[in-house]
Each structure stands twice: as structure tokens, then as C-alpha cells.
Chain A
């Protein structure tokens, strides 16, 4: 399970240019509470006294409606439901629209050891941003052996046995102006079951590469910041393998997929042997992948043209009845 506290959330928000605009306004001791899921809860129903199916392990987001309702409850001096809300070990309460809770609320929160955060954003914008952030944190992950590069905007994950030339291939691609995300160990994250994000395992040691014969290189220093990236969606898998003359490699462009963390990613198997220029093959594959995204499938279009031509040819033959007449 991911070890993630509310303090980490504040810290992360700061790193992501503070786009959630979170500040802690009370209950600092509660910042160490752990967050265990990526869901958020709007506590309207619990405040009105209905606690069935209350997701107390989620972040409680107080929008304008909840805040108004809280005011009403306080005016009526009817805070039993709020008392009960704080009896659960809720991770944190967040007030949207720059709203401030009353002193009584803060006192109750602090007594129960729950932190109170505030954001200037409206509840809709804030929830969207928060869910996106939490989805990334609680995403299922997989660490695999390979190199992730960005080629013409396509995230290409190069895999293969040790010594097959993954790093050398990546180095050549970077030399040609493409970008390195991570060499050797790539951490993949499943984002909402729709796509995979790949990044380096350890940001401290990112963008280094080990090349046999030279040693460890710092790519950011050697090639400049333009040649690196922190994370990128994995859109194409390229598996390098030693040329096996008994194996049949794809010659016409049939589509092959591999499933990683439950997400199918297009895959190419590229045989390697001395003299074969693998980087240029990967560049071409990336260009082809972009064409596919635009709805143009080279292999299919070619097949269509062949079929059309065969059809017209056979029609012409039928018309002339005899090849030698023209």
C-alpha cells in the first residue's frame, strides 16, 4: 500500500506549482494522518445525520452547500452530527471557495486530531484536480527493465535482454534530438485504467545511463535539459531481441499488443544484428504510430490499394478478354 499522509499532499501540491492552492488552517497535528484511497467525500448527508455508507476513510470536501449548512446547524446549536463526524478517523477536512470554518468547528477538529485545510478554488474545480492527483498517487505500479524515450512525441518503451543494446539505441535516439525519460528501470503507473504513465523509479538518480565501456553518464548535463523528460505516456513497446533466423518477424504490419497492468499497448518485435540501424527503425515506427493516431494505417492502405488495383486489372482483362490486344 502507498504510504501517503496529508502532509505529503500539501508538499506535493507545492511541487506541482500549488495548483490546488491548499493551506493548512488548523489541526496541524492531524497532518500525519494517512490517506488510504483516492476517493473524496462530500459530507452533506452525514451532516444531516445520515451515516450509513459514510466513507470516513476519504477526504471530506466542504463546498459552499456544506458550509452554509454548517452555519445553519451552528445557529440552531445542533452540532451532534458534526461531533459524530469527527468521531471517525477522517483523513482531513477541506474548505473550498476560501471558506473559513467557525471557531467551534476548528476546536472540534483539533480535539479529534483532524487537520483542516482550505483552498481558494471552487469545489468542482478543486475536486477534479484533487482526484486527478490522487489517481496518480494510488495508481497500481509496475517496475520493468527497459528504457523509456520520447520519439516525435510518442512514448516508446524499449525492452529486451541485458546486453541487447537498449541503452545504446536510446543514446543514438537522444543524439538525434529525442528525449530520455528513464534508463534501465521504468516505473509504470496505470492511470484510471485508460493509459500508462512511465517515469524513473528514483527522481534523485534520474536521467543517468550506463553504457558499457564508458560507465555512468549524466544525460541532462551531456545533452542539455531539452533531451530529458520526467514522465511520459507509454504509447508503443519495442522489444529488441537477438536475430533468430528460425523466427518469423512481422513483414506486413500486423498489429501486436502486449498488456501491461491491464492496459493493451501496441508492440513491435525488432530483431537486432550487427549493421542493423535500430534507432532509425524506432523513429520510423514512432512516425507510423503518429500516422495511425491520425487514422492512416500504412499497411492497411497499402493492402486496399493492392486490392483495388487487382480488381481494376481483372475488370480490364474481362473487358478486353485478351491481354495481347493492348
Chain B
């Protein structure tokens, strides 16, 4: 289990496109990905789940990965947040 704290850095927050991007990256790994915000924890491989988190600009999320390639998965997702989802 790898746990990381991330911040939403793109202005628009996590809307449909970034959510799809997260799921796309998460699905490249066999580890499970969970994202948590304000006591709400969802599966990071589901687009609707990520959108329902309602992660706006500057909101903080806890991501956790669990599985054989958890380190790599956490790195990749963290990188996405740092890159502002390529926006």
C-alpha cells in the first residue's frame, strides 16, 4: 500500500477529461487505485467515481495504490497531478 497526498493544480479541477486520463493511466497497472477526498473514498479506475469526488482547483486528495506495481502506479498518478493533466 502506497499513500500519497496530491493537490489539484489545473484551474478547471477534475472534470471529465482529466478523470478519463486518470482511469486510462490507472488501468495500465494491475494495482488497485483509490482516491479520497473529504471522507469519500472511490475506486480510481472508474470515471464516474472520480468525477463525483468533485475535486475543484486547489483541493487536496489522498491517493493510495495497492498491488504488485503499487509504487509505479502511485508515481504515474502523482505525475499526472503535477503536470496539471496536460492542460
Chain A interface (Cβ within 8 Å of chain B)?
A: 143, 145, 162, 183-185, 200-202, 205, 208-210, 216
Query: Which 10 A-B pairs have CB atoms at the shortest separation, nearest pair first?
Result: A184-B48, A145-B43, A162-B45, A202-B52, A210-B47, A201-B52, A210-B48, A185-B49, A184-B46, A184-B49
CB < 8 Å neighbour of A162 from B16, B40, B41, B46? B46
Interface of B is mostly: mixed
Q: How far is the CB of A53 from chain B (nearest CB, A)?
A: 31
- Residues of B near A209 (CB, < 8 A) are 48
Contact, CB under 8 Å: B52 / A216? no
B3 close to A (CB within 8 Å): no
Residues on the B chain within 8 Å of A162, using CB: 27, 43, 45-46
Check A208/B48 contact, CB under 8 A, given A143-B40, A201-B40, A216-B16. Answer: yes
Q: Given A201-B52, A202-B54, A205-B52 in contact, is the A143-B47 Cβ separation under 8 Å?
A: no
Could you tell me the distance between the alpha carbons of A86 and B38 in the complex, rounded to whole angstroms?
Answer: 34
Query: In the bound complex, how far is the Cα of B40 from the Cα of A201, in angstroms?
Result: 9
- Residue among A143, A200, A209 facing the most chain B CB atoms (10 A cut-off): A143
Which residues of B sit under 8 angstroms from A201, Cβ to Cβ? 40, 42, 52
**Nearest B-chain residue to A209, judged by Cβ:** B48
Are A185 and B48 CB-contacts (below 8 A) given A201-B40, A202-B54, A216-B16?
Answer: yes
Q: Which residues of B contact A (CB under 8 A)?
A: 16, 27, 40-43, 45-49, 51-52, 54
Return chain B residues, CB-CB under 8 Å to A205. Answer: 48, 51-52
| Contact of B48 with A183 in the complex, beta carbons under 8 Å | yes
**What is the chain A residue whose CB lies nearest that of B34?**
A145
Least CB distance from B12 to A in Å reads: 16
How far is the CB of B4 from the nearest CB of chain A, in Å? Answer: 20
B51 contact set on A, CB distance < 8 A: 205
Instruction: Note all chain A residues with C-beta closer than 8 A to B47.
Output: 210, 216
CA distance A214 to B41 in the complex (A): 26
Q: How far is the CA of A162 from the CA of B43 in the complex (A)?
A: 9
Closest to B48 in A: A184
B42 touching A143 by the CB < 8 A rule? Answer: yes
